[in-house]
Amino acid sequence: MLHPYPHETDETGPAVQLRSVTCGYDGRPVLFDIDLTVMAGDFVGLVGPSGSGKTTLLRTILGAVDVYGGQVIVNGREIKRGAAHAGYVPQLETIDWNFPVTVEHVVRMGRASHGWTPWISRRMRDEAYAVMERLGIANLAQRHVRALSGGQQQRAFLGRALFSSPRLLLLDEPTAGVDIKTRDDVLHLLDELNHEGVTVVMTTHEINAVAAHLPWVVCVNGRIIAEGPPSDVYTPDILKRTYGAEMTVIQHEGMTLVAETPHSIGRASARHKAKAG
C-alpha cells in the first residue's frame, strides 16, 4: 500500500497488519486471505455492500473475531482473541438503549479496563469533561443516552473511544443515521484527530458523501478487491467487482463521484417487481 498522506505522529511503521487472514464466526469464514497494512497516521475507509465483511474486518483488527488462518498484528503485537489497544465506536443500531446510563458514564467507560468504580477522581472527571467539551456534549453530561438524538448518541460513544487516549481509532459506520451537519462535524473531528497522529479506520456505506473525501479507501467483498485513493479505486470495473452492479464514475471539480447506471437500476427494479408478484 502506498501512503501519500502521512500526518504528524510519534509512531512509525505499521499500526495494523493483516497477513493472509481468513476469519469469521462459529467456524464459518466471512473474509478470505486478507492482506492489509495500515501505517501509523493513516486515515482509511472500508467500503462495500451490506454483508461484504466491512464490520468483520474492523472487528478482526479489534480482536473480536475468530481467525482461522494468518496473522493480525496491531501496534506491533500479534492479536489472537482479545482486545487490541484501540478506541472502538460501534454502529448505533447494535447498542442496547434500554441500559440506563448517562453521557458522562458512557464516556468514562472508555477507561473501564482500568477498573470501573462508581466514584471518580477530580482529575479523571476533568479529563472526561474535556473530551465532552471537544465533542460539544458537555451540557448533556447528566442526560441519559437513550433520550438523545442519533447525532448526540454518536458523539457520546465517540467520546468513550477518545477517553481511552487511543493511538488507533476504529469506527463502524460513524456517520450512519445522522443529519448532514453532524456527519460533517464527525468527519471534521476525525480529520483533526488524524492530524494529531491518531490512526483512523472506519467503515462506511456512503461512497460519495464520506468515502470520496478520504485519502485512502479499501474495497471489500469477502476479500479485498482493491485499495488506494478514491480517484484510483473508483473505476467501473472495481466498483462492479465490489458491489455487483454497474456504476458510472464522474469526475467533477477534482472529486470522484459514483452513481448507479440507469440500466442497472432498471434491472434491480424489475427483479423487485418480479419478487413482489
Each residue of 117-156: pLDDT tens digit? 556 788 989 999 999 999 999 999 999 998 998 889 999 9
What is the chain's mean pLDDT, rounded? 87
Q: Is the pLDDT of residue 36 over 70?
A: yes
Confidence of residue 169 (pLDDT cuts 50, 70, 90): very high
pLDDT at position 150 is 86
Q: Where exactly are the structural domains of the chain?
A: 10-86+166-244, 94-165
Confidence of residue 2 (pLDDT cuts 50, 70, 90): very low
Higher pLDDT, 4 or 22: 22
Burial class (CB in 10 A: 0-12, 13-18, 19+), 32: middle
- Quick one: what percent of the chain has pLDDT higher than 70? 87
pLDDT at position 178 is 86
Would you say 84 and 62 are in contact if contact means Cβ atoms under 8 Å apart?
yes
10-86+166-244 fold: Rossmann fold (3.40.50)
CA distances from 8 to 41, 97, 192 (A): 7, 37, 11
Confidence of residue 60 (pLDDT cuts 50, 70, 90): very high
Could you report the per-residue pLDDT of 242-274, keeping only the tens digit for each?
999 999 998 877 778 898 877 655 555 555 555
CA distances from 227 to 32, 136, 216, 217, 248 (A): 16, 34, 7, 6, 19
Could you report the per-residue pLDDT of 75-126, keeping only the tens digit for each?
999 987 766 689 999 988 777 767 788 999 999 998 875 545 556 788 989 9
Confidence of residue 209 (pLDDT cuts 50, 70, 90): confident
DSSP at 178: S
Could you report the per-residue pLDDT of 122-132, keeping only the tens digit for each?
898 999 999 99
Amino acid, single-letter form, for residue 159: G
The reported pTM is 0.86
Residue in 88, 84, 3 with CA at minimum distance from that of residue 39: 3
